[in-house]
Amino acid sequence: MSRANRFRRGFLSSLIVLLVCSGAESTCTTADAEDTAHPRLYVTAADVQRVRQRMSAGQLQELAQRPFTDHLDGLGKPDDLIFAALVGKNPVAEQAVVKIAFEAFERLLQAMPSTIEKRAGPHNYSRYAGLAASLTDAAFAGDAITNEQRAQLVERIAAVNRLLHHPDYWDPATGKCSLNPNMTTTANGYRMMFAALVPEHPQSAEWLRESFAALQQEVDNWVDPQGGMIECPHYSMVIFEQWTGSFLIARNSGLATDDQFFHPKLRAAMRWFGNICTPRDSACEGLRRFPSIGHTYANERTVMFGTMAGLWRQRDPEFAAEMAWMDLEQGKFPEPGMLSYYPGLMGYRYFFRDDQISPRVPRWGSAMYSETGVLLRNTIGSTRETTLHLIAGRNHSHYFNDSGSITIWGRGRELCTEDDYQNRRSEESREAHSMPDKPSTLNGERVMAIREFSTSAELDYVRGTRRGWQRQIAFVRDADPDQPNYFVLADTLDQKSVPTTWRLFLGGTIVRTADGVLLQGDEDVDMDVVLVGPQTPHLTIRDDHIELAVKNAGTIRVVLYPRLKTEAQARVTSWADGHGVQVQTASGTDHLILAPQAVSAAAVGTRIEGRAGLISDRPGRQKTVQVGRCDVVPGWPEGDRELREIRWDGPQYPRFPDE
């Protein structure tokens, strides 16, 4: 810090106190100039110095002299500007930071009253809020700002704080809010950002404590025990990015301990984000992406894998290495997500990139997230991964009416598809998912509850219920992606759930076969869709899906067998009095039970019993998997497990956009 800047800070200390407290009920008395050290939100002066020490003299010189002629139009590029201003001490960037901070505050203060007067969501001005806070923090740390400008910015911070703590500003507990949880995270995050900028204010410490406590409660309630989050992947990342920024503010303000900052649920949630990501997708530049489920955009990726790798490097090196690997697998995406403004770490993301972390392929496998869904996988890190994602659980905000629907990747190719947020397949989304239609899913408040889950080296099994519909999935799997890896679905409908229409959405060309359809994939993988069992509903082929007209109660049993185009079709027949399937391939013969109630059957001298089980007879080995009791404990004990009941104080059951 220059001598002139230190003088300005000391000179303005009492003036800032008076300006900040203007209009407040409390009276300010004194302030320590050292309390106003900046930057203070996401990084500190020590953090900036550590970054400078990692850079060469040539790199620092280039950063200091960068002209930034293309960054000054509108609201600029905050990450480039702040990094150059703080690390490079670039005079052009320092001036731009001050200029754009004023522009952001002007737009922010114009927009904020709409939340008080009309309950407009605070996300509507998240870019302006993020810019105003982050740029001001950097401006206060630099030498370009004048005494007058500093005082003017403090006035604007005071005005924002008055609005944020207005009794009618966004409060789920009193009903002064609307719709989805991520907006509440945004409001709590704003309160932390702007309170932390002015520690001189007599209420700043209280505001920080209250906001941090609210965010901690969000983390406790909005992440299920295994890491699944409350909203679809896109909006969950909106929440998660703000959590990360707010927890950094809390730590830098001395409010959070390391144990609070490195919250185990934050780590679990990021592993959920990682595990549900798709295999490498040719339609996404050959990179992994979030699954396009619920209100998640096509080809969406995130910078947060890299951010978490940098933040957790010392605390948990293995986790950091996993995050670094996922960051590479997503092409080092520069933003937290797509088509939203993320205010939580805006302008400071470069500080958390650490290219010195050696990436490591995670040891992730099939996983059950008790209130969010199920991910089945045979391996990770291969170009031939086979996975299935089942949407389920009460954490179902910002989704369509799609609880119980599935997506499938076979041999590294997307085969069974789902809607993304922008490319809707139907005006009524409940008719655009891989699941039965009305009346089983007519009630949008109802979700699929995960009742059973079991995983082993040869067989994964999951059972869920949604009103009169029970969905069972078996995944016959092998860690060797060149061996048979396939799925069997058993959908059982009770008398009240029929007549109905059962759908499966497929990506490619659909060709009718004697016992179902062949999906001719757009790349080098096909999938055989084989209907087995005593019930043979009428099959209709549409452009992007198949439909079964189901008139009677009972079970629809379907084998989904991905294979290379060069491989022969498996021979699938009914087995165990229609309660199972026999699948014959060049690798051997599998006998699988998948039944709504426990049954008993024998093959190749071995008997299996229960709802699910497998006898795998391969050359040189025979494996038997007997799925025993595998009941799923709910994510929280109270409430109806099939009722979409989000754990927050805001309104329940916001209507789906198609209703």
Domains delineated in the chain: 3-352 (1.50.10.100), 374-579 (2.70.98.70)
| Collapsed DSSP state (helix, strand, coil) of residue 249 | helix
Mean pLDDT of 71-95: 85
CA dist 111 and 109 (Å) reads 5
Confidence (pLDDT) at 406: 98
Confidence (pLDDT) at 619: 86
Q: Which residue has the tokens 């014959």?
A: 584
Mean pLDDT of 513-542: 90
Mean pLDDT of 23-38: 47
Among the listed ranges 17-21, 66-70, 86-90, 158-162, which one has the minimum average pLDDT value?
Answer: 17-21
The closest alpha carbon to 414, from 519, 301, 540, belongs to 519
In this structure, what token pair is assigned to residue 435?
A: 């699941």
Mean pLDDT of 631-635: 97
User: pLDDT digit string (tens) for 341-398?
Assistant: 899 999 999 999 888 999 999 999 999 999 999 999 999 999 999 999 999 999 999 9
CA dist 384 and 403 (Å) reads 27
Confidence (pLDDT) at 24: 40
Higher per-residue confidence, 177 vs 47 = 47
Tell me: pLDDT of 155 over 80.
Answer: yes
Mean pLDDT of 236-241: 98
Tell me: pLDDT of 33 over 70.
Answer: no
Confidence (pLDDT) at 76: 63
How many residues comprise the chain? 659
Among the listed ranges 24-28, 156-160, 218-222, 392-396, which one has the minimum average pLDDT value?
Answer: 24-28
Binned at pLDDT 50, 70 and 90, residue 173 comes out as confident
The closest alpha carbon to 243, from 235, 80, 359, belongs to 235
In this structure, what token pair is assigned to residue 627?
A: 């799925």
Identify whether the C-beta of residue 572 lies closer than 8 Å to the C-beta of residue 563.
no
Tell me: pLDDT of 577 over 60.
Answer: yes
CA dist 567 and 652 (Å) reads 49
CA dist 442 and 440 (Å) reads 6
Winning range, highest mean pLDDT, from 535-539, 643-647, 654-658:
643-647
User: pLDDT digit string (tens) for 98-133?
Assistant: 999 999 999 999 999 999 999 999 999 999 999 999
CA dist 140 and 434 (Å) reads 54
Confidence (pLDDT) at 653: 74
Mean pLDDT of 611-632: 94
In this structure, what token pair is assigned to residue 11?
A: 């000179």
What are residue 607's DSSP bridge partners?
602
Binned at pLDDT 50, 70 and 90, residue 70 comes out as low
Q: Strands across the sheet with 500-505, in order?
A: 500-505, 545-550, 538-541
Tell me: pLDDT of 534 over 90.
Answer: no
Q: Classify residue 392 by its DSSP letter.
A: -
Confidence (pLDDT) at 502: 95
State the DSSP string of 92-106.
Answer: HHHHHHHHHHHHHHH
Confidence (pLDDT) at 26: 36
Identify whether the C-beta of residue 255 lies closer than 8 Å to the C-beta of residue 208.
yes
CA dist 369 and 236 (Å) reads 14
CA dist 525 and 74 (Å) reads 47
Mean pLDDT of 250-255: 96
Winning range, highest mean pLDDT, from 23-27, 40-44, 67-71:
40-44
Tell me: pLDDT of 621 over 90.
Answer: no
Confidence (pLDDT) at 68: 81
Cα 447 to Cα 464, 467, 576, 607: the distances in Å are 10, 8, 31, 35
How far apart, in Å, do the first and last CA atoms of the chain sit?
A: 58
Q: Strands across the sheet with 554-564, in order?
A: 449-455, 459-466, 469-476, 486-493, 554-564, 525-532, 516-520, 509-513
The closest alpha carbon to 370, from 278, 462, 488, belongs to 462
Omega before residue 233 within 30° of 0, cis? no
CA dist 192 and 643 (Å) reads 33
Among the listed ranges 84-93, 176-185, 222-231, which one has the minimum average pLDDT value?
Answer: 176-185
State the DSSP string of 250-301.
Answer: HHHTT-S-HHHHT-HHHHHHHHHHHHHSPSPBGGGTTB------SS--TT--
In this structure, what token pair is assigned to residue 376?
A: 């089945």
Average pLDDT, the chain: 91
User: pLDDT digit string (tens) for 394-424?
Assistant: 999 999 999 999 999 999 999 999 988 888 8
Mean pLDDT of 79-88: 95
Binned at pLDDT 50, 70 and 90, residue 216 comes out as very high
Provide the H-helix boundaries in 87-180: 91-111, 113-118, 126-141, 147-164
Tell me: pLDDT of 31 over 90.
Answer: no
Tell me: pLDDT of 261 over 90.
Answer: yes
Q: Strands across the sheet with 571-575, in order?
A: 571-575, 580-585, 588-603, 606-618, 621-626
Confidence (pLDDT) at 16: 46
Confidence (pLDDT) at 481: 94
Q: Which residues of 4-34 are buried (b: 16+ CB within 10 A; e: fewer)?
A: ebeebbeebbeebbebbbeeeeeebeebebe
In this structure, what token pair is assigned to residue 490?
A: 């058993």
Tell me: pLDDT of 73 over 60.
Answer: no
Mean pLDDT of 422-451: 85
Helix (H) or strand (E) run with residue 50 in it: helix 45-54
Higher per-residue confidence, 175 vs 279 = 279
Confidence (pLDDT) at 176: 86
